[in-house]
Structure 1
């Protein structure tokens, strides 16, 4: 694999590397799934050194390759702290939707599932500003608490048990870590900490990426290096990713993703307070409160399968993922690097227009989508500030962290 470019390279060198063959990124359509990065630097990194020689505090010089290796080798087992996370995908406010899309995606209705199920609860982190308390003590004890106005949601992994507790509804979700192929899967449903987000970003680092060290900073009272990750291709919606890495432990302390379109960060997550002392054992203790509704993992899975996405969901999309079973081996991926696009064929009709659906749901669809036409036919591009998707009228879906024009071009080439 060719060396990654740093900002110190000449224009000619960058242009030459742009013409080299590039491998398709492994993350394809799974844009927010935590993965391990152990061995990433040794296996795939060939960075031209970019030395941190400015900024405050004054730290020893380090290259981008050395800093990524430091992250990969970080083995922090014990910590506690507070994380502030702000997400701005540019989605419209869903609060006014009373049926349809809201009933299908905003969470379970009364008597259906549990508000404490982490697979639903933690999706709240995709918008707005949230404060989290986190704690860890080795591989089998983790706690994440989402602090809300007058309530708190906690997700606790203690040995073989995984507990979710929603104090607002007094509901409890209980699962068993041993039943999962990965004992941490339940506590990692959605990447919430700078470490989770950085691991996913590093999965996308290849020779289409510029990686440099961009000075130093202080985060939560800790000295840190700043790692800067930028796509070298045009057409991506990702502008840059900045990661503040603890100079002593290698733990990512702050993660910021800014869009190519400019403006506020799409995701900004960072510790405001952190301690590497061993948390008290009682931190991970949990007993369901008196009177709480307890839902077991198996029961919750059965209810989800039986009800799909809800009876009020638009026609053709009310059967959950059943229509995508034939794609179980994974979507086709076209393009390369940060411009890779996942292609799925649902085998059905495309997304209905706002006029066809009508009401609040129709208005929501229109607020997200742009109608497009081409040799492939017609379709709708649904936009956020990061991930965009084109759904054609014949049921094909093109999705990626790319612009609308890139999606239309992909559909033209695959007609």
Structure 2
């Protein structure tokens, strides 16, 4: 128990990296040079165009570049040795986590809600996810392992049946109503406009630009390139006030909205590959227990951790404890919680965590006392020495100000 309490001190700084990743939506994006001459549209008309889009088929190549401004997190994420024999090498939850850092190239294809394929290219290695009707396959060429699942929801609520569904009472039922609600929700905290045009994967696109009006946010802007013909988002770029490379720049370098050949979604386990049936059921149970493998996702997480951090890191806390208080609203909202744990001391951290903490944290002080700010380019967290935590997509100074105010 003592070891668990000591290890739990390091949950918050390590979780900051995960929170930053969770704030990012992976919408395909990559702009090409040349701005097309398109008819002028308003932000409302562009939002309506996105809402009215009914793209069911697409294929192409996507690149994703992510820069959270973090030191290396190698060794901190749950993983399994190649060739483990239990499907761990092909486990999607571990493989897709790798997309939160660095640059990656993907091939994608979709034919409605029941057929999708995603291949992550890594040199000569490939990782493939295939959803074809009732079957879901994951294959990792490096470990030569396959995971096979059955999709119990296959065929339900899809196609024309989905189109016929009515919006719940009180919810926007048309693209125009949805656009009205989006602009209304933006209110005084958000600026939404059209920032010209762009060429994306050879297609003409409009750029929807979203910016915070509030001072203190770490978000400089969100830009979404929208296909001028189909209304499909083609580009998503998240920029930080810290400047430099975008936090996320992900997207199509090639795109085709034609129907992919049915054979694109066929899958046959390669010769000699280890095939594991129903591995996701085991992984799901492990996640509910707060454990992955023998040691758990993060030391000391067996009992969980309340609030959004807990949901992210694999636990919901005991008896509803540690649920955060939200300070402020909009882009500068801050979550505050009292962990009851002392601030981490780098020299006491597990060896694989020490370098990460050194590169992530800065000592700060004020009326609240003293503590450490754990930083990324988009989400920051202040952990005071007496165990209070302030987390938000806000500047370190905004966190210090909130702590000084005694909120």
Query: Into which bin does the TM-score normalised by the smaller protein fall?
Result: 0.7 to 0.9
| More displaced stretch, 349-358 vs 252-261 | 349-358
Residues 91-240 of structure 1: pairs in structure 2 closer than 5 A: 91-95=70-74, 102=75, 105-109=77-81, 110=84, 114-178=88-152, 206-207=186-187, 208-240=189-221
**In structure 2, what is the equivalent of residue 243 of structure 1?**
224
Q: Cα gap change, 1:135/1:314 in structure 2, threshold over 3 Å: closer, same or farther?
A: closer
How large is the RMSD of aligned CA atoms in angstroms? 3.3
Provide the C-alpha distance between the structure 2 equivalents of 1:341 and 1:279, rounded to a whole number of angstroms. Answer: 44
**Is 1:299 the equivalent of 2:292?**
no
Residues 70-85 of structure 1: pairs in structure 2 closer than 5 A: 70-85=49-64
Q: Cα gap change, 1:246/1:350 in structure 2, threshold over 3 Å: closer, same or farther?
A: farther
Count of aligned positions: 344
**In structure 2, what is the equivalent of residue 19 of structure 1?**
none
**Is 1:388 the equivalent of 2:380?**
yes
Contact 2:324–2:337 under 8 Å retained in 1 = yes
Q: TM-score, normalised by structure 1?
A: 0.73
Q: Cα gap change, 1:251/1:313 in structure 2, threshold over 3 Å: closer, same or farther?
A: closer
Q: TM-score, normalised by structure 2?
A: 0.75
Provide the C-alpha distance between the structure 1 equivalents of 2:320 and 2:25, rounded to a whole number of angstroms. Answer: 18
Task: Mark the runs of 5 or more structure 1 residues left unpaired by the alignment.
Answer: 1-26, 36-54, 96-101, 185-201
C-alpha distance after superposition, 1:146-176 (max 9, x if no partner): 1111111112222233222111111223334
Task: Mark the runs of 5 or more structure 2 residues left unpaired by the alignment.
Answer: 1-18, 28-33, 159-181, 305-313
C-alpha displacement at 1:71, in angstroms? 0.9
**In structure 2, what is the equivalent of residue 342 of structure 1?**
335
**In structure 1, what is the equivalent of residue 161 of structure 2?**
none
C-alpha displacement at 1:64, in angstroms? 0.7
C-alpha distance after superposition, 1:294-341 (max 9, x if no partner): 152112223453735864987644655446344599643221111112
Q: Cα gap change, 1:248/1:150 in structure 2, threshold over 3 Å: closer, same or farther?
A: same
C-alpha displacement at 1:380, in angstroms? 2.2
Contact 2:194–2:209 under 8 Å retained in 1 = yes
Contact 1:114–1:172 under 8 Å retained in 2 = no
Tell me: higher relative CO, structure 1 or 2? Use CA pairs within 8 A at least 6 residues apart.
2
C-alpha displacement at 1:86, in angstroms? 0.5
Provide the C-alpha distance between the structure 2 equivalents of 1:218 and 1:28, rounded to a whole number of angstroms. Answer: 29
C-alpha displacement at 1:267, in angstroms? 0.7
Provide the C-alpha distance between the structure 2 equivalents of 1:34 and 1:262, rounded to a whole number of angstroms. Answer: 20
Contact 1:28–1:341 under 8 Å retained in 2 = no
